[in-house]
Structures are given as C-alpha cells and as structure tokens.
Amino acid sequence: MHLISSSRSASNPARRILLAGSADYNRRFAREPRSEHDAHRPLQSSDDLAHVFSWQETRLVSKSLTLNYKRVLYVLDPTDAARAARGRRVGIEEREDGTLSFWDGEPELQATVFPKEHRVQQAEVVDNKRLSAALEFIEAQQYERTQAKIAKLPTTRRGARLLRAGTPRRRASGSAIDGKGKSGHLYSAPTAENAA
C-alpha cells in the first residue's frame, strides 16, 4: 500500500479508487495472526545484506582461465586457487552497484576484463593539404625498399624491371631470376657447357 500513500494529491480520482479498493480488500481477506510473537530477528553485524541481495550465477572456467559473463570475457589471475578451478563452475556475484566478484568455495578469485571486440585502428586521416607530402614520403620509402632488393639479389634486367613495376617475381630453380642461369629467360636452352 506504499503506492497509495505516496500519491500527493488527495483529490486524485485514482487515489480515491485505490483507497476504496484497499479497504474492501482488507475487509474481505485480512486475517489475524495466530501468535502475537514477532519472529523477526535483529540484523547481526556478520550479516552481509549486499551479498544476500546480489545476483549470483555460475560459469565454467576454461583451461586458459577465462570465463564469459554478460558478453564480456574475464581472465582469472593465475593463482593456485584459479588453477584449481579449471574445468569447474565458479560463482559470480554481481552486487547492486555493479561490482563483480568471482569465487570458488571460500577463496575469492581476482579477474580482469579482456576486450573481446578488437577493432583495427585506422591510420590517421591526413588533411588534403598534407596528403601530397604523405604520398611522396610513402613513394620514397617504396623506392628505397625496391632499390635495396635489386642491390641485394643477383637480378637480370627483366627482374629489376619487374621489381620496379611492383610485380612479384617468380622463383624457379635453375632460372636467371634466382641467379643460377645465364640468360634472362625461365628456360635456357642446353649449351655445349651444360651438355658436357
């Protein structure tokens, strides 16, 4: 009946209907208690009402000490108690203020949130004024990398041209591309030196 007494306006028609209905309900269904003794005990200092009124569930701990709760992955700290809880169900207690605690019997387990939804960070968006400088810088880096590849590997003119064009080079054993053949072709015809 707290809803009825919390209404502010006495002239509210809904309040008048509820008051009349509650009086009728109490008249028809009210019962006297069998005993006048008040069985409510006072709250003890050891009583933890936050624990009593918390939402409690259980979750299975994986071999890698992880568990899911409300679409969030939690990683248990690698303690002896957590290692002992592998493959078992542990309790999760969510208090009214939103804090979580994990427990397996008596010991409380410490856990950290693992972000499941990783997103690739895009590179910095470059303003149009700086775009040409950024593209020139990238082009210079690519040119230096290509020149280093040409200088490092024994290449033919064709291989160097393909590197400069950005075409990946195919590797074939005994060909000119990997430096073993003498001609610039993938297939070299047998010569008098090869036949002997």
User: What averages of pLDDT result for each successive group of 10 residues across the chain (196 residues)?
Assistant: 48 80 86 87 88 93 93 92 94 92 89 73 64 84 82 71 64 46 46 49
Specify if 7 maps to a domain: no
How many domains would you assign to the chain? Answer: 2
Whether 43 is in a domain gets the answer no
The pLDDT of residue 22 is 85
Q: Per the domain annotation, does 171 fall within a domain?
A: yes
pLDDT value for 18: 81
Q: What pTM was estimated for this model as a whole? A: 0.42
State whether 109 and 61 are in the same domain: yes
At which of 114, 136, 168 does a domain end? Answer: 114
At residue 83, the pLDDT reads 93
Structure token pair of residue 195: 């036949």
Domain C-terminal end among 114, 136, 155: 114
106 and 135 in a single domain? The answer is: no
Residues 89 and 139 in one domain: no
- Check residue 10 and give its pLDDT: 56
Ramachandran region of residue 168, left (φ > 0), alpha (ψ -120 to 50) or beta? beta
The answer to the question of residue 78 being in a domain is yes
The reply to whether 56 and 79 lie within a common domain is yes
Q: What is the pLDDT of residue 111?
A: 93
- The side-by-side arrangement of strands in the sheet containing 89-94 is 55-60, 89-94, 100-103, 108-109
Statement to judge: residues 104 and 133 lie in one domain: no
Residue 147 lies in a domain: yes
**11 part of a folded domain:** no
Residue 151 has a pLDDT of 73
Q: What is the 3-state secondary structure (H, E, C) of the chain?
A: CHHHHCCCCCCCHHHHHHHHHHHHHHHHHCCCCCCCCCCCCCCCCCCCHHHHCCEEEEEECCCCCEEEECCEEEEECCCHHHHHCCCCEEEEEECCCCCEEEECCCCEECEEEECCCCCCCCCCCCCHHHHHHHHHHHHHHHHHHHHHHHHHCCCCHHHHHHHHHCCCCCCCCCCCCCCCCCCCCCCCCCCHHHHC
pLDDT of residue 142: 87
Query: pLDDT value at position 184?
Result: 47
- Say what the pLDDT of residue 186 is: 47
Please say which residue of 58, 85, 114 terminates a domain: 114
Which range marks the domain in which residue 71 is found? 49-114
Does 26 reside within a domain?
no
